[in-house]
A and B are shown apart, each in its own frame.
Chain A
């Protein structure tokens, strides 16, 4: 069988860790090959080697059977290899067409000439049904559309081998469906695709074959149609994974969190971000606020946790008014917070793992005496959590948080917040960017908290998560709670309609 790309026996080491240990990856002409692995399994490293961002210590790369040296992304481009990164690289105040031609624009007498380029962009957009408006500005179009611009950038450069790095992480369910169709169109046209993902249902839907990495090692490649998601998950994690979450009936207890008539205004534009919103969370329940990103979830959480001031309203925790209390007091009163942005809020990246794990408790007598930190106790605490939550890091508790993989950074935050045993856990997209094993773990932990009679406020963008984990769902749209539904009786479709604002429900 002819392979269009072969990466043979690739080994790439970083200090304290072997990111790729003798990994082999072979892509056939005209197929979608999924690259599956947990966070930190070495998927990104392997693709960075293929893209010329890293140089492997050992191993060779062949393109069309010929051995090649890829030393920079330019070499990769010349070999018709292109990548859609997880974080788009677009100029926001440029138009779609300007972004696409950037770097290879036609000029006449030193002026940029766009007519031909726009014609070609429209042609490509038509052929692959991308429905792109070349004159729209990037800042005005949706995330899904921006992703298509990235895809068009590659097509415009005659890319034959497309690498998608976790492309669905930022998309709505409808957008994901469209993307899958687009990918299938590419294959019909003879292009080849490597899809980096840890979402098993996506692999089942589009991929032909699937290569699995685990802890930097190559586990194997399977034909997707002969393999069940359970088997894939087992290959990825190295043990059996349960997809069905066991959730015993739980009796509701007292009201833990009560939000009354909350209004939050933007600091800059003074437009309302949260409009006159009220809800309650009780002991023993997981309330999930579902919605498409950017509909006020961030403002809502920042108002409750105290990160941003509120304009009007009242927040009660265990019946006590905490509206204007300091963040420290709220934390100590029993709020746990897994923040949305783990780099901005969740971690101090230049602190060690152990230091990060005591971010809200370093001042307690367990970790300090007379103002001096007890480093032994802090390290022991770190080791305990590393073991309990299976946080992987190159140098144990001394690892700088910056050098850890995204998934393990998130695990560290989760470990810290669960370990504090709060009455109310506010979990904001806690499983974003995590692999199946870690997601299963975090969901189990959230349910365990609920079973212990704690309250959980879950902010989620993933419908699977919303439907599987929640006891009650409220949908947020443009800063308002527009519907309250029971996960047992609702459907993905109905939720999608509420989330996109096409329908409003009844609030109890």
Chain B
């Protein structure tokens, strides 16, 4: 009896390294790690060229993110991560179904407009104001995704072209819309802030992370990622979506209605973008929607987030937190006399190296074979 028990314990203990090492046997994971390290190396080299003595300190600041500020620093990371996660999820989900959604930015913008409208004006909703505002954001994003979805599904208009156009319609439409709806804040180019009941609640996260800016945005984002993971991998709907994405012809052969799936896929991607806007702008003291001639940058950072995570909904959680981590660290770079925009260079370099991942895959496979003598998948 005792021996049996010992055996089981032994087995578990022996397997612990295997379980922990599992991701390291995954080629995508390793390639992403290589891309990240190379990107950070590029950032370090730039700092080394600009101002050599402080490069080491700068690098540490980037790597430690907000850690030196303690829990509130981690809170800052999570605040940044929420919208990035959802933007990445929007791109990743569409990509898994064979669509390249460049229009996250525009979808976010229209979602933001409806959310801010509800969050500012519909105070009569009381404690439910933020809930309706979130739903409005989702609806707005979904509508903005529906249009390219219809164009693609019915007329085979390429979604890259139509989503980019939708971005610019959103950007310039905002000038008209916010004025007409009387939502421009004061004399600035900013939209008005939502009321306290229109803002996302924090459900105790504020005291946990000792930060009054944090809200449930990150929770909404993680829940969305889990739901998308389940939809894609466990449901018949996900099976159809992936079938259409991987091979449109066989999906057709199998009797799957690819038009319907393309349209639905864009609507869901848009809805996720809308939710991203909600987590970004539904607050009293945090980020503010700016009525200006640029698309929302998080919409494009979402592409990087999804790319690094190979579009997997759960890996996107990790990659968005990682990018947010870099951002928080980067904001403190000025302490060493560096421009925080170095982070932008690092992120771009990581994207670049991810795109070159096939080179890494080869290198990684070779190294792995030499070091461990095993194959990796």
Contact = CB atoms under 8 A, between A and B. Distances in A.
Most chain B CB atoms below 10 A, which of A15, A328, A345: A345
B235 A360 contact: no
B377 A327 contact: no
Contact of A346 (B235, B237, B250): B250
Contacts of A372: 234-236
B253 A307 contact: yes
Interface in A349-391: 349-351, 355, 359-360, 362-363, 368, 371-373
Most chain B CB atoms below 10 A, which of A331, A349, A359: A359
A307 B31 CA distance: 39
Contacts of B257: 326, 328
Interface in B224-267: 234-237, 239, 242-243, 246-247, 249-257
Contacts of A349: 246-247
Contacts of B297: none
A349 B377 CA distance: 16
A362 B255 CA distance: 11
Contacts of B250: 344-348, 359
Contact of A373 (B235, B247, B251): B235
Interface string A99-116: 000000000000000000
Nearest to B237: A371
Contacts of B253: 305, 307, 327, 337, 339, 345-346, 359
A307 B234 CA distance: 28
B375 A362 contact: no
A352 to B, nearest CB: 11
B239 A362 contact: yes
A344 B236 contact: no
Contacts of B235: 371-373
Given A15-B377, A326-B255, A360-B255, A345 B236 contact: no
Given A15-B375, A326-B255, A331-B255, A351 B236 contact: no
A399 B53 CA distance: 54
A351 B251 CA distance: 12
B249 A351 contact: no
A369 to B, nearest CB: 10
Nearest to B238: A373
B236 A368 contact: yes
B239 A373 contact: yes
Contacts of B236: 362-363, 368, 371-373
Nearest to A349: B247
A329 to B, nearest CB: 8
Contacts of A15: 375, 377
A332 B255 CA distance: 10
Contacts of B377: 15
Most chain A CB atoms below 10 A, which of B235, B236, B251: B236
A428 to B, nearest CB: 12
Contacts of A371: 235-237
A444 B113 CA distance: 65
A348 B252 contact: no
A317 B97 CA distance: 34
A327 B250 CA distance: 12
Interface of A: 15, 305, 307, 326-332, 337, 339, 344-351, 355, 359-360, 362-363, 368, 371-373
28 contacts: A15-B377, A326-B257, A327-B252, A327-B253, A327-B255, A329-B255, A330-B255, A331-B255, A337-B253, A339-B253, A344-B247, A344-B250, A345-B249, A345-B250, A345-B252, A345-B253, A346-B250, A348-B247, A350-B246, A350-B247, A355-B239, A359-B243, A359-B253, A360-B254, A360-B255, A362-B239, A371-B235, A371-B236
Given A15-B377, A326-B255, A368-B236, 20 more contacts: A305-B253, A307-B253, A327-B252, A327-B254, A344-B247, A344-B250, A347-B250, A348-B246, A348-B251, A350-B246, A351-B242, A362-B236, A362-B239, A363-B236, A371-B235, A371-B236, A371-B237, A372-B235, A372-B236, A373-B234
Interface of B: 234-237, 239, 242-243, 246-247, 249-257, 375, 377
